[in-house]
Amino acid sequence: MLRILSQRADIWGEIRLVASPRSAGRKLAVRGEEVEVLALSEEAFDGVDIALFDVPDEIAERWAPVAAARGAVVVDNSGAFRMDPDVPLVVPEVNPHAVHSRPRGIVANPNCTTLSMIVALGALHAAYGLRELVVSSYQAVSGAGRAGVETLRQQMSLVAGTDLGTNPGDVRRAVGENTGPFPEPVALNVVPWAGSLREDGWSSEEMKVRDESRKILGLPKLPVAVTCVRVPVVTTHSLTVHARFQDEVTVDGAREIIATAPGVVLFDNPEAGEFPTPADVVGTDPTWVGRVRRALDDPTALELFVCGDNLRKGAALNATQIAELIAAERR
Ligand X SMILES: NC(=O)c1ccc[n+]([C@@H]2O[C@H](COP(=O)([O-])OP(=O)(O)OC[C@H]3O[C@@H](n4cnc5c(N)ncnc54)[C@H](OP(=O)(O)O)[C@@H]3O)[C@@H](O)[C@H]2O)c1
Helices (DSSP H) in 24-168: which residue ranges? 57-69, 112-128, 145-159
All residues at 6 or more sequence positions from 150 whose CB lies less than 8 Å from its CB, including other chains = 180
Query: Which CB, 38 or 127, lies closer to ligand X?
Result: 38
Sequence length of the chain is 331
Query: Which CB, 111 or 213, lies closer to ligand X?
Result: 111
Greatest pairwise CA separation for the chain in angstroms: 63
Residues catalogued as catalytic: 112, 237
What is the DSSP secondary structure assignment for residue 180, as one 8-state letter? T
In the chain the beta strands, taken as DSSP E runs, fall at 17-19, 27-30, 33-39, 50-53, 73-76, 106-108, 130-139, 224-230, 237-245, 264-266, 287-294, 301-308
Q: Which residues bind ligand X (CB under 6 A)?
A: 19-20, 22-23, 40, 54-57, 59, 77-79, 109, 111-112, 143, 145, 314-315
Could you tell me the sign of the dihedral formed by the alpha carbons of 229, 230, 231, 235, in that order?
A: positive
CB of 109 to ligand X, least distance (A): 5
CB of 108 to ligand X, least distance (A): 9
CB of 254 to ligand X, least distance (A): 26
Quick one: angle between helices 251-260 and 112-128, nearest 10? 120
Query: Which CB, 78 or 203, lies closer to ligand X?
Result: 78
CB of 145 to ligand X, least distance (A): 4
Query: Which CB, 77 or 320, lies closer to ligand X?
Result: 77
